[in-house]
Structure 1
Amino acid sequence: MHRPVLVLMGVLLLAVMGCNAEPPKIGVVDVIRVTNNSVAGKMANAELNVLIKAKQALVKEKAEAFEKLKKSPRKENAAAKNLKEVELNKAAVEYQKLVAASDEEIKKKAAELRGKIFEQIRKVLETIGKEDNFLLILTTENAPYFQKTIDISERVIKKYDEMNQAK
């Protein structure tokens, strides 16, 4: 009694598998590579680098002013020395605040740019997934091992550039 049921289930399983002749497609994408090699990613990196250089120049200017203040002549009376010490402390605090604010602004801008790019890449992945009937697309961060044959990063870069060019 059990044998005919098992045979029938086996035949049904083979029939179902035969209907779906194409194996499920799985792809892996290196989002960092897409970000660094796509036109939009390169533009975002360039924009971030301009901000970084501007902030570095501002911090360097403040550091030089602080060093100049530290090295100024010290042949003063006690009251003048105390006043200079207060100025130095104030300048040091201002410098530290400037560095912290610059770092925070750079981090915020980087997160903003990354967020935009990742959202656009997600849309590209949806498009590619639907067009090519992918069952699953993972990022390299989520796939510790994969065969390079399922890496679709270059295709994603190309599609991402095409979609941005059309805008």
Structure 2
Amino acid sequence: MLPLLPHPDPDVRSAAAFVLATATGGVLGVSAALHDRLTVEDDPRVRVSVILAIAQLAREHGDEHAPAWARRLWSDTGRPPEIRIGAALAWLCLVDDPAPAELVALLTDPTTELYGDQLQQVPWIRPVDSRSGLRRCIHDMLTPDVPWNRTRSGGQQPESAITK
């Protein structure tokens, strides 16, 4: 799978990252290859796939440095939006802490919704909801006690529903 990370087709690169996230052997090598790929990747979908693959490996293998890495990415306003969004989702998967206000602001910012269609093809997001996977991921991660059907109309959640 590692040779597929630089494949010319973004769908292949994204799928390779997804499959590599389930690697049971050579985790350090796979993680290093994914980190290397992230430094050169230019496709937004693949960037998010690589970030989520790194986070999944880190969570499954107890990488204690991963939450700080994800936080550095999502809190860096100089990074491209898809990297910040992907890293914010990754951070939420890596920790049990309440979401900081800055992370909530990033994920609930109306401009984040603009990436919904583009990121719908990310293998971790697509199965969540076939039409609005990013929005549903964000909702479920920030407000796990609020049923999804209460927000399907597209209305904004009150601030109290978004904070943990």
User: 1 or 2, which has the higher strand percentage?
Assistant: 1
Structure 2 length-normalised TM: 0.19
Q: Highest CA radius of gyration, 1 or 2?
A: 1
User: 1 or 2, which has the higher helix percentage?
Assistant: 1
